Amino acid sequence: MGCEFSKMCSCCDTIEDGVVAQPGNVENDMGETSDLPSFREFSVEQLRNATSGFSVENIVSEHGEKAPNVVYKGKLANQRRIAVKRFNRSAWPDSRQFLEEARTVGQLRSPRLANLLGCCCEGDERLLVAEFMPHETLAKHLFHWETQPMKWAMRLRVALYLAEALDYCTSKGRALYHDLNAYRIVFDDDANPRLSCFGLMKNSRDGKSYSTNLAFTPPEYLRTGRVTPESVMYSFGTLLLDLLSGKHIPPSHALDLIRDRNLQMLTDSCLEGQFSNDDGTELVRLASRCLQYEPRERPNPRSLVSSLVPLQKETQEPSHVLMGMPQGGSAMPLTPLGEACLRMDLTFIHGVLEKLGYKDDEGAATELSFGMWTNQIHDTLNSKKKGDSAFRHKEFKAAIDFYTQFIEVGTMVSPTVFARRSLSYLMSEMAQEALNDAVQAQVISPIWHIASYLQAAALFALGRENEAQIALREGSVLEEKYNAN
């Protein structure tokens, strides 16, 4: 999941492929400051590297490969995690329009958004790059929860933060949001809800696409085929119903229940005893206003914020506590290998890599040329054998030379060779080269925990503590999955 290699850490200006991205220092309307880099353009190759070749393992779309526009998780050279949305080839035929839209959305910076960091417009490819949100979608936590239903206080917080996000976007001239639904709200490292920036982009060249079920579509959309700011308020009303009921109820059915004063049928039974009748009635009133048939009768985002602020409960409780999640993506307890990376115990890591052998190369991409049937294959494999022997005997300079000969021939690709050369570089106090090789190992084998751990060790050696901790957490998660399998 790596990409080409930056020369500076994420807390400074990052340099990637000669492009300097100055950290933004944009104050938003909530008085907070964003430390995100400015919007930039990426190449397809950079995003291919960041997502390990758009590997299936990195797909995070709710509908996986079958989704018309697939979203992948990825990681840049400075360890910043990203979400990459890859559009269907028939979308955005006008490259200029795509770039203009992306650049405009990319100027937005708010802690209520999963902000757009960049885009790629190369050939037929149209890709968007955003902040990665690790704690899934509102739909997952409301409709498909596994450990605990979402608490009432957290549901009210989601409603407020979403209203604030829409108010911010409106204040910056981006009042239109396409297909607002529970899948568009994601949760960050601290479990705070954020609105995905992807919906701020038109999802078709004429802005007419609306992918939700017709039962949830604003009535005026059926007449005109276009999204308006008032349409967004209608969709906000359906989200308030989702939060209240824990189900995706068609607005027409909900309005019938409201008219009949049958609020009990509308309320999630999991919320019993968590809120007063007055609070429930007020949320239903807000939903009813948003779902008015006439667009002009619906509230605007600013008035929604004003109405939702007084309803907030447990305001001192952090979101991750309300959601029952670890803070900041905190990792599980470290395994012996993770501890060795943290302590920079390179001898221990060497022992692990030596015992590991090449079993993780199974399934890795192997490219064979015609030269395989000539003396070239003999020489290539001989270089690897000599490298393995040097590595085993801790002759790391020689190991680097032999592995380099094997890699440069290019007839075979091996993540284990890159991992072993990475450690050899670390042993030789060549930390940047070690990081480059660890990233390459992960590009070849995206879910291999060893590659993440080696990145962590190299980053610790470079003094890039924050990025090293991120790589260490990632290695822990991947190792747990590896051991479970």
Euclidean distance between the first and the last CA atom of the chain, given in angstroms as a whole number: 21
How far is it, in rounded angstroms, from Cα 126 to Cα 44? 9
Closest CA to 44 of 15, 4, 93, 97: 4
Q: Which of 179, 188, 189, 437 is catalytic?
A: 179
Chain-centroid distance of CA 29 in Å reads: 24
Closest CA to 290 of 246, 232, 242, 249: 232
**Would you tell me the crossing angle of helices 346-356 and 449-461 to the nearest 10 degrees?**
160
Confidence of residue 368 (pLDDT cuts 50, 70, 90): very low
Angle formed at CA 165 by CA 163 and CA 166, multiple of 5 degrees? 65
User: Span 433-452, mean pLDDT?
Assistant: 90
How far is it, in rounded angstroms, from Cα 85 to Cα 100? 17
Q: Is the pLDDT of residue 32 over 90?
A: no
Residue 5's pLDDT is 28
Chain-centroid distance of CA 186 in Å reads: 9
User: Span 116-133, mean pLDDT?
Assistant: 94
At which residue do the structure tokens 């639904």 appear? 181
In Å, what is the CA distance from 211 to each residue of 131, 167, 284? Answer: 23, 23, 25
Residue 464's pLDDT is 87
Q: Is the pLDDT of residue 242 over 50?
A: yes
Phi, psi at 353, each rounded to 5°: -65, -35
Residue pair 109/28 in contact (Cβ under 8 Å)? The answer is yes
Least-confidence region, from 228-242, 399-413, 422-436: 399-413
Query: Could you tell me where the beta strands, DSSP code E, fall in 343-449?
Result: none
How far is it, in rounded angstroms, from Cα 329 to Cα 187? 11
Residue pair 164/303 in contact (Cβ under 8 Å)? The answer is no
Confidence of residue 159 (pLDDT cuts 50, 70, 90): very high
Residue 266's pLDDT is 85
How far is it, in rounded angstroms, from Cα 471 to Cα 457? 9
The better pLDDT of the pair 341, 224 is held by: 341
pLDDT in tens, 278-329: 888 899 999 999 999 999 999 999 999 999 999 999 999 999 899 987 665 4
Locate 57 and state its tokens.
Answer: 């393992």
Q: Is the pLDDT of residue 258 over 70?
A: yes
Q: Is the pLDDT of residue 237 over 80?
A: yes
Q: Is the pLDDT of residue 331 over 90?
A: no
Query: Is residue 13 flagged as an active site residue?
Result: no
User: Span 240-257, mean pLDDT?
Assistant: 89
Residue pair 117/129 in contact (Cβ under 8 Å)? The answer is yes
Which of 78-82, 242-246, 353-357 tops mean pLDDT? 242-246
Confidence of residue 36 (pLDDT cuts 50, 70, 90): confident
Q: Is the pLDDT of residue 382 over 80?
A: yes
H or E segment and range at residue 434:
helix 431-444
Q: Output Rg (C-alpha) for the chain, integer angstroms.
A: 25
For the sheet with 70-75, list strands across it. 40-41, 116-122, 125-131, 81-86, 70-75
Q: Is the pLDDT of residue 202 over 90?
A: no
Q: What is the mean pLDDT of the chain?
A: 83
Residue 142's pLDDT is 93
Residue pair 12/90 in contact (Cβ under 8 Å)? The answer is no
